[in-house]
Amino acid sequence: MSTDSQQIQLEARVPVSAGGARVDTLASDLFPDYSRSRLQSWIKTGALRLDGKVCKPKDKCYGGETLSLQATLEAAGDWAPQAMDLDIVYEDEHLLVLNKPAGLVVHPGAGNADGTLLNALLHHCAALQNIPRAGIVHRLDKDTTGLMVVAKTLTAQTDLVAQLQARTVKREYDALTLGRMIAGGTVEQPIGRHPTQRTKMAVVEHGKEAITHYSIQKRFLHYTLVRCQLATGRTHQIRVHMAWLKHPLVGDQTYAGGRQLAAGLSSDMREALLAFPRQALHATQLGLLHPASGEPMQWQAPRPADFEALLTQLSQEDGLGQGH
């Protein structure tokens, strides 16, 4: 199995009719196999040049120049393939969709050198060794469950990244929040690194645009099951936005500030909530356009058994058998 990086050498002439266009825009048109963000990175490092000169993504072209690309496309790296059971919901030669369990880290990193989804994907499909990040185009937090899409070719990866950037990928999550919400709505608050706690994200003035739509699925006396739809995909977005609303996720040790128990709960209910080992967040629905056929596709994954059991116990706690 090859783990070598791929060397890229390409040239393209800027059409005279394209005079006045930005370098990064033209690069996306002339080198369509690569995402705009990757091309912008190459422009900034000097790997992609205009008439042999280093330029900026926003620089304008006059028309007739030559764009030249000499870059190294990093493959998945030297990560070891590892046999793991994967709950694959759909797979063809272009992509696969899986239902990620709780506790599975998506990508190797500090403290998680192996045993990750990436390691499992490399074992499942050896060709992913030659795709950046083994085809992973978006992530779920370690303890978030549910649907993820993985590209199996470079072309599919570029297309799926473009769909994510264009906000046409439909991602819906079920979240159990503290407190009784009155109605659904939209949170449009920028997210960036927490100013003092660098492992956390936060709503900050100069953060990246972040938009979460949410609707009420079921109300309990002291908790609410909401359906969140992501318009953007910032790190910890739903967790941060729900905490900003003063309705943090049950089990979220990072953003709930220790608050997940309402007053007046039975001892059994208190015990069940305290024992729930993670944030109550599940990626329940995923929709996108197939990168090869363009056909709209959609998948659903039921909430995991422990999440469902917690909802059942909350219903019983209310004494009605159903939310109000």
CA distance 176 to 183: 14
Residue tagged active-site, from 4, 59, 141, 143: 141
Query: What's 265's DSSP letter?
Result: -
The pair of three-digit structure tokens given for residue 9, joined into one six-digit string: 């050498």
Cβ neighbors of 313 (< 8 A, separation 6 or more) are: 268, 269, 272
**Half-sphere CA count of 236, side-chain side, radius 13 A:** 21
CB atoms within 10 A of CB 120: 20
- Enumerate the β-bridge partners of residue 10: 69
Active site residue 159: no
Per DSSP bridges, beta strands 281-289 and 145-151 are parallel
- Residues 272, 313 contacting (CB under 8 angstroms): yes
- Cα–Cα distances in angstroms (integers) from residue 282 to residues 26, 72, 88, 266, 297, in the given order: 39, 36, 16, 26, 19
Cβ neighbors of 225 (< 8 A, separation 6 or more) are: 174, 175, 176, 177, 216, 217, 218, 219, 311, 323
Catalytic residues: 141
